[in-house]
Amino acid sequence: MPPRDDEDLYGGYDEGSNPLSNTGGSGMFQALGSDPIPPGTAMQVPGTAMKTYVAPGTAARGAGPADQARPMTSVRGAGFTSAPNKKFDPMNQGRKEGGASLLKKADVSVEEQAKDMEKKVHEVLEQSALMTHKEDFAAGLEKAMEARKRERALTKFREGNGLSDQVNIDLTYAIDFNLAVCYHANRDYQEALDHFTAIVKNKAYTQSGRLRVNMGNIYFEQKKYSSAIKMYRMALDQIPSTAKEVRFKIMRNIGLSFVRMGQYQDAMQSFSTVMENVPDHQTGYNLVICAYALGNVEAMRQAFLSLVEVPGYEDDKAEDELDEDEDEDVVQDDGLRDELKKRQNYIAKVITNSAKLIAEKIDRNGFEAGYDWCVSCLRDAGHVKLANEVHLAKASKFLACKEFEAAISVFKEFEKKSARIKARAATNLAFLYGLEGEVDQAEKYAELALKSDRYNARAYVNKANVAVEKGDLEGARALYNEAAGIEPYCVEAIFNLGLVNLRMGDTQYALAAFKKLHAMLPDNTEVIYQIANCYDLLANQTGDFKATVKWYEMLSSLVPNDPGVLAKLGAIHARFDDDIKALHYYQESHRVFPVNMDVLSWLGAYHVKNEVYEKAIPYFDLASRIQPQEVKWALMVASCYRRIGAFPQALAKYKEIHILHPEDMECLRYLVHLCTELGRRDDAQDYITKLRKAEKNQQAEATAVATRMQAAAAAEQEGERFVDDGPDMGGSAPAARGKKVVAKTEASKDDDWGNEELGDDLLPM
């Protein structure tokens, strides 16, 4: 190989002395590439140390260009370059002469135009599917129609340019199917059915027969169950036997249609076929419901056995065995674990609901034996956790039947179970003992529940309830706050927190708690009442009752026939001196609950105040019949008769009162007055005698009472305990009534209403 003019000759080496040579017969080193190795390049031969090859004579030249690495130029012809910021362009297409860029492309072919159009169709189709998935159905339908329009234009373009063989039939099918699905999502059922029918009848779509399932679903949503069953069966004929799971899912839909039609026997046959081939928990649950609807005990047992034999979704690590030090963030962010937990919860729900449903029917000895049978079946099938759940459901059933001792005995059986089950049982026991007033037992089991699970919000609520019973309101408030912090949607904790704040006088904090609960339960009447009550308490300080009226009116709209709410609205408007609205609400309250004495008193007083005595008489008369021992109501009736000039009726009423209350001096005074005015002097003289006798008795009784009080005061000063052993003045009730009459006579001076709010317009004439 002759050397080039610009290269130095490599020095000769002996075969044995050249460490870089691995070939013999040549005195010159040849590089592995097309060019020799430049001077100064580091080379390493296997088994040798790294050395640097230097051309002969270069060391003596000193520093200079010979010391620098020679650039590799042999690859420039292929377009490679070591210069930075330069792209590989072997054909030199990026630049023209003079450095101008090539901006224009060659003419685009028809095939490329068709491909670009098809790409845009795909993009719009994907956008439509994505919007439908995000439940933006209107926008999804709009994009689906746009995709169909673009696809039709693409097909016409290809046919017009002689590319009919390139028409994408799969894309056309996808466009039509997506459009039908979008119509279905927008509940435009007729349009969806029309499009699905067009797809099914198109012979170009060989696999479109299975879309009759979608048509069956539409008929099912329209409650046209016969048509739905017809479509499902036609779809079964189109689906091959190899698609086993799909076929039995369609059969499950047929069974559901039969259930909606009330044909439980036919539904049972469909569900039984599915359970024999591809069993699942949903179908098993439906089979149990059908057997229960038919009242077939044996079928219920068999259906439940089939349900519990369906394999569940077992976790790799049981929930009760989770390490407490495990990173909770990792567990919470695990989507697969969340999905597994969701499915496990669904299985637990359907099995416990099935047990609750059939427990009262499968055994003649009652629900207790039925629950025991279900628990035994679950344990035999290896579902220990679900057996515990059903056992807890049995205890809850005892609670519903108010068999508290039996419920307590069942809950106590869980004391030796796993931590979480024990915590749930202890929580229920604490609640039960709290209801029965056994504070110590309630506190004991609340502590046990917290020891088993320190994040049990309801256990904190039970412990706080115990603190309230013991009078530790501050401690109870702290525990309720702890429960609400653990479980923000624990309504019991938030509601009780508001009540405790009310007891402590912190009305603002109570109002904040109840408003937070109202945001969670906007239609709960108890919460709305507490909010109105808080505003009422605040209004007593500020005088602004507008918010109180607003919340009570909101409560009245939810419970329009609640007499207490109506009476409260009437009282509030009475404070505003808005008698028209107050009268309306009081009358509505009286209509719903006519025996409310406060309402009767206000209505009677209102009509007396407005001098409409004939309307006041029915209210006072009803009050006298409700409280026959209270003489004032009958006196009010008689006084109303006097005010309207019906003296005979008034006299008859006073005589009736005198028979029932012979010692009542007010009645005797009115009898004397009326008999004198009516000219019945003999009767008047008789009543005068009785009046004087009653006055003497009253005076003697008052003297005896004063004597005893003086003696008691003297004994108290001497440090002795006074014992009332005076003579009986005609019984305790008459004595008390006599004292009351004296007090009233001194206070009101013959005011027969006995109520200062009525004014002095009904004094005796």
Q: Are 148 and 171 in contact (CB under 8 A)?
A: no
For 365, phi then psi, to 5°, come to -80, 0
Statement: residue 340 has pLDDT above 50: yes
In this prediction, residue 258 carries a pLDDT of 95
Average pLDDT, rounded, for the chain: 78
In this prediction, residue 474 carries a pLDDT of 93
Average pLDDT over residues 301-322: 73
Angle at which helices 457-469 and 491-503 cross, to 10°: 20
Tens-place pLDDT, residues 505-516: 999 999 999 999
Let me know how long the chain is.
765
Q: Are 642 and 650 in contact (CB under 8 A)?
A: yes
Of the two residues 111 and 484, the one the predictor is more confident about is 484
Look at 168-182, 396-410, 414-428 and tell me which has the smallest mean pLDDT: 414-428
Statement: residue 758 has pLDDT above 70: no
In this prediction, residue 222 carries a pLDDT of 93
Average pLDDT over residues 49-59: 39
Confidence of residue 320 (pLDDT cuts 50, 70, 90): very low
Distance CA 176, CA 450 (A): 59
Confidence of residue 251 (pLDDT cuts 50, 70, 90): very high
- Which residues, in sequence order, are CB contacts of 281 under 8 Å at separation 6+? 307, 310, 312, 346, 347, 350, 351
Confidence of residue 685 (pLDDT cuts 50, 70, 90): confident
Q: How far is the CA of 667 from the CAs of 636, 653, 655, 685, 695, in angstroms?
A: 11, 10, 8, 15, 13
Please report which helix (H) or strand (E) contains residue 584, including its range: helix 579-592
Tens-place pLDDT, residues 586-597: 999 999 999 999
Percent pLDDT > 70 in the chain is 77
Statement: residue 329 has pLDDT above 70: no
Of 358, 342, 263, the C-alpha closest to 307 is 358
Statement: residue 755 has pLDDT above 70: no
Surface-to-core class of residue 466, CB atoms within 10 Å of its CB (0-12 exposed, 13-18 middle, 19+ buried): buried
Per-residue tokens: 250:
């369609």
Residue whose structure tokens are 């005061």? 713
Distance CA 627, CA 239 (A): 81
Tens-place pLDDT, residues 78-137: 666 666 556 666 666 555 444 444 444 446 788 888 889 999 999 999 999 999 999 999
In this prediction, residue 75 carries a pLDDT of 62
Distance CA 442, CA 288 (A): 38
Per-residue tokens: 126:
């994907």
Q: CA triplet 546, 549, 555: central angle to 5 degrees?
A: 145
Task: List helix spans (H) across 364-438.
Answer: 367-380, 384-400, 404-412, 419-435
Of the two residues 77 and 277, the one the predictor is more confident about is 277
Statement: residue 629 has pLDDT above 50: yes
Tens-place pLDDT, residues 253-300: 999 999 999 999 999 999 999 999 989 999 999 999 999 999 999 999
Please report which helix (H) or strand (E) contains residue 42, including its range: strand 42-43
Confidence of residue 688 (pLDDT cuts 50, 70, 90): confident
Statement: residue 732 has pLDDT above 70: no
42: β partners: 52
Per-residue tokens: 290:
């059908």
Surface-to-core class of residue 213, CB atoms within 10 Å of its CB (0-12 exposed, 13-18 middle, 19+ buried): buried
Largest pairwise CA distance in the chain: 170
Tens-place pLDDT, residues 616-626: 999 999 999 99
Indicate the pTM of the whole model: 0.56
Per-residue tokens: 706:
């004063």
Of 698, 689, 691, 682, the C-alpha closest to 739 is 698
Per-residue tokens: 340:
């597994």
Angle at which helices 384-400 and 335-358 cross, to 10°: 50
Q: CA triplet 233, 265, 343: central angle to 5 degrees?
A: 75
In this prediction, residue 587 carries a pLDDT of 92
Statement: residue 675 has pLDDT above 90: no
51-52/42-43 β-pairing? antiparallel
To the question of domain 110-261 being in CATH 1.25.40.10, the answer is yes
Average pLDDT over residues 326-347: 72
Of 610, 660, 612, the C-alpha closest to 634 is 660
Per-residue tokens: 265:
């026997």
Confidence of residue 69 (pLDDT cuts 50, 70, 90): low
